[in-house]
Structure 1
Amino acid sequence: MDEGSTSHSRDLVLRHPTPDECVKIWTATAESWGDTLPFSLYLKESQYLTTIPLAKNGNRTDWILVNKNLPPDQRPILSSCETFRKRSLTSDALGNITESIVHGIASVFCHPDYRSQGYAARLMKELANVLPTWQLKTASPCVGTILYSDIGKSYYSKLGWHPNATNLHIEFAPKISNSETTAILEEHLEGLCQRDEARVRKLMAVPSKDIARRVTIVPDVDHILWHIKKEEFATEYLFGKIPHAKGAIIGEPGRQIWAIWTHRYYDNPTSSSANNVLYILRLVVESDKTATRLPLDAGNVQMEHYDEQLNYLKAVLKAAQAEAAAWKLNCVKLWDPTPLVRKMVMESSVEHTVVEREEDSIASGMWIKGFMGVYFDFGVSMLVTIGTIIDFESADPIGETAKV
């Protein structure tokens, strides 16, 4: 095999796929990531997801690894992926906040004909060189890149994306029940996300003697809508309708608790082996002091109105369970809860299971010089990160499979 046909060849470069090459990629990935959608609808969904706000204005970029000497639409696509440019916040030990950029890497894929030849690794190495300066349209610097691995911790760690120390989530069974919560509708999302961002900024401004730098992705409405627009393709196909509630909220401003969720159908709900999920994309407890994620605040789980807040959380979780039951989902998943939320869940009467993920949806990050050792709040990012098909839904965050 000559040098031009190996993953080490100098002729291999990153390029952006043509429209026809995008269709080739989606055709190849349909079996793995099409979930319940028929092929034609998966292609339609894939095209549509390039047009919604999170992907527009250059925020999404499609990448392919190809031989630079071959013409577009005739060159083999040796490996491919997508990246999403995300607004993020960085703070120092004094709580000074600066605007920054983090790139999320998603949909890493290698056609079966080219697997086990090092092409996916070459793609990732090329990306590591390009992304730190990619599309910096503002003065905000890029501080790093993130991904979610569904192939364990070692593969991407060897390439420089090191796994988060913990990858924990809590699972709840679907259950029909009444709830005192109010449904969150699509028109409510922007206002809630703006409040959430303001809250995140306050949390990032808390000084820390233990952590020199912190980074978090802004949980804006564009991230939430990506998941919601994706779910609409599946629910319209399966049920002929789309979900009315995008989440649940309870309480008065200042002491409110709300959850925003998305319905994900990996399998047909009529299948006995279905493993479909209601993902809680964001759980906000306004009075949660442990949401700073700082070590010194981890034990700060006492608060005024604790019993009220515990009942509010139970009501929101029950609303999520009821939503899962109504839409034939097999479980509810809450990723990376804060110390306070974990304590309240443990003290609630809501049955649950705590899971530490070792192989799938492993949050991983690579940080540029000056940000090595940074504390990254995956509690925000993993649930607003689009399906790192090394996971990236998910996004998403959320559960797809890397094909490398």
Structure 2
Amino acid sequence: MGSLALPESQSSNLGLSHPTADECVTIWNNSSASWKDSLTVPLYLEESLFLTTVPLAKDGGMTTWVLVDKNPPLTNERFSAHRSFTSTSNGKVSDAIVHGIASVFCPAELRALGYPPRMMRELAKILHGWQSEHAKCVGSILYSDIGKTYYSKLGWQPNLTNFHVVFQPSRKPDQPLVIAHAIEAGSLAELCIRHEAMIRRAMAAPAEAINMRMTIVPDLDHMLWHIRKEEFACDLLFGKVPHAVGAIAGPPGSQVWVLWTHRCYEHPDADSTDNTLYILRLVIESHVERKLSSDANTKHDEQVGYLKAVLQAAQTEAAEWRLDQVKLWDPIPVVQELIVQSGIDHLVVEREDSIASGLWYDENGEASVAPLWMNNEHFAWC
């Protein structure tokens, strides 16, 4: 910034604005070292522009903000609007919006001057009414890579749970009792619609001990955002894109399925242990339909077999794409039990990055008590 006089972080001249196309390129250049993964900087710029055109982001789904004075942007972030359901203790379900905040970034030379906290506080004031013509905004979420303290001081409190289960890739897993079938992109829409109906019914079940529940809807747009991102990178790295977007086992009514995405933080030839097959969403149909309760599982052994089959399919997929691990975020207790009973080797890890955190609003836009966040899985990360 040279000798340019910078405003104080509390200056009344600071405010939020939307960057121009050229400013977006500057922002992407600045943030490339942090988020380009295995791509070169030019390809990261190409990917960043491409991701503004895909589901969840296009047509106003994603908004980019910058904190500005009369000078160039001081810090920036973007967010997208997640469709969500809320449910009261008596099972009254409402459609709502939860904004997802991502890519909060400040150039190195402007850090420690108070600009990012100022921007987050300004954003917190705006989000309750942003795009509220579509539905009521009940909160915003972000995934912190800098621990739990920084954002909690600004109002975004860590979720009650932030862990994941890690499975190792395997080209020759134990022979399962049942076979998992690949989920192709063409059948994804039907599965998402079916799953959304299940979730709405589950949220309508009374839960007297819980005042408010919230779930991000794992709809087609969320899945396609991840899939388009992985296709862009895989085509460059491997010269091909994944054939399967997940795996499914069992008959309708008792099916188990996973949807996944491939993430290469480094080139597969590099000395890396972080390239990951993320399970975007795990669905155990009988548990969703029976209020997520293990008490109603009448075909327990079958469910263990179906779960084992889809997890082994994920392990095989990771091995074929030279990924280092498979990760499943925050499975509910009954699913954790089924994983143990499946006999698949796994490791439970408390996350120190991508910490799901939320700021929640009451009817008047004031800070509210956090709801119980249902289905806190990787599909909502962006």
Task: Tell me whether 1:329 sits opposite 2:328 in the alignment.
Answer: no
Partners of 2:42 and 2:113 in 1: how far apart? 31
3-state secondary structure, aligned to 1:5: coil
1:247 counterpart residue number = 246
Amino acid at match of 2:168: A
1:390 counterpart residue number = none
Partners of 1:283 and 1:384 in 2: how far apart? 10
Shift of the 200–355 alpha-carbon distance from structure 1 to 2, 3 Å rule, reads same
Query: Alpha-carbon deviation of 1:272?
Result: 2.0
* CA RMSD, Structure 1 to Structure 2 (Å): 1.8
Between 116-125 and 368-377, the greater mean CA deviation after superposition:
368-377
Query: Alpha-carbon deviation of 1:168?
Result: 1.4
Q: 1:367 aligns with which of 340, 360, 367?
A: 360
Query: Alpha-carbon deviation of 1:289?
Result: 5.4
Q: 1:129 aligns with which of 108, 122, 125?
A: 125
3-state secondary structure, aligned to 2:205: coil
2:350 counterpart residue number = 356
Q: Conserved in 1, the CA contact under 8 Å of 2:148 and 2:355?
A: yes
Between 4-13 and 255-264, the greater mean CA deviation after superposition:
4-13
Q: Conserved in 1, the CA contact under 8 Å of 2:99 and 2:140?
A: yes
Shift of the 257–190 alpha-carbon distance from structure 1 to 2, 3 Å rule, reads same
Q: Deviations over 1:179-198 (max 9, x none)?
A: 61110011111111111101
Q: Deviations over 1:115-145 (max 9, x none)?
A: 111111111000000010012233x211111
Shift of the 98–43 alpha-carbon distance from structure 1 to 2, 3 Å rule, reads same
Task: Tell me whether 1:318 sits opposite 2:318 in the alignment.
Answer: no
Task: Tell me whether 1:212 sits opposite 2:211 in the alignment.
Answer: yes
Give the % identical residues.
50
Listed as ranges, the matches of 1:247-326 within 5 Å are 247-288=246-287, 292=291, 297=293, 300-301=294-295, 303-326=297-320
Listed as ranges, the matches of 1:2-401 within 5 Å are 5-67=7-69, 70=70, 75-138=71-134, 140-177=135-172, 180-288=179-287, 292=291, 297=293, 300-301=294-295, 303-357=297-351, 359-370=352-363, 372-380=368-376, 382-385=377-380, 394-395=381-382
Query: Alpha-carbon deviation of 1:365?
Result: 0.6
Q: Conserved in 2, the CA contact under 8 Å of 1:100 and 1:143?
A: yes
Q: Conserved in 1, the CA contact under 8 Å of 2:68 and 2:74?
A: yes
Partners of 1:163 and 1:103 in 2: how far apart? 16
Partners of 2:124 and 2:291 in 1: how far apart? 29
Query: Alpha-carbon deviation of 1:4?
Result: 6.1
Query: How many positions carry a matched residue from both structures?
Result: 373
3-state secondary structure, aligned to 2:58: coil
1:388 counterpart residue number = none
Q: Deviations over 1:13-36 (max 9, x none)?
A: 000000000000001111110000
Structure 2 residue ranges without an equivalent (≥5): none
Partners of 2:260 and 2:225 in 1: how far apart? 12
Shift of the 272–98 alpha-carbon distance from structure 1 to 2, 3 Å rule, reads same
Q: Conserved in 2, the CA contact under 8 Å of 1:4 and 1:10?
A: no
Partners of 2:272 and 2:258 in 1: how far apart? 27
Amino acid at match of 1:58: G
Query: Alpha-carbon deviation of 1:347?
Result: 1.3
Amino acid at match of 2:226: H
Shift of the 326–271 alpha-carbon distance from structure 1 to 2, 3 Å rule, reads same
3-state secondary structure, aligned to 1:133: coil
Partners of 1:79 and 1:290 in 2: how far apart? 44
Q: Conserved in 2, the CA contact under 8 Å of 1:290 and 1:340?
A: no
3-state secondary structure, aligned to 2:379: coil
Amino acid at match of 1:360: D
Query: Alpha-carbon deviation of 1:6?
Result: 1.2
Partners of 1:279 and 1:285 in 2: how far apart? 17
- Tell me the TM-score normalised to structure 1 length: 0.89
Structure 1 residue ranges without an equivalent (≥5): 386-393, 396-404
Partners of 1:61 and 1:202 in 2: how far apart? 31
Query: Alpha-carbon deviation of 1:292?
Result: 4.6
Partners of 2:89 and 2:272 in 1: how far apart? 48
- Tell me the TM-score normalised to structure 2 length: 0.94
Q: Conserved in 2, the CA contact under 8 Å of 1:232 and 1:242?
A: yes
Partners of 1:38 and 1:336 in 2: how far apart? 32
Partners of 1:375 and 1:292 in 2: how far apart? 17
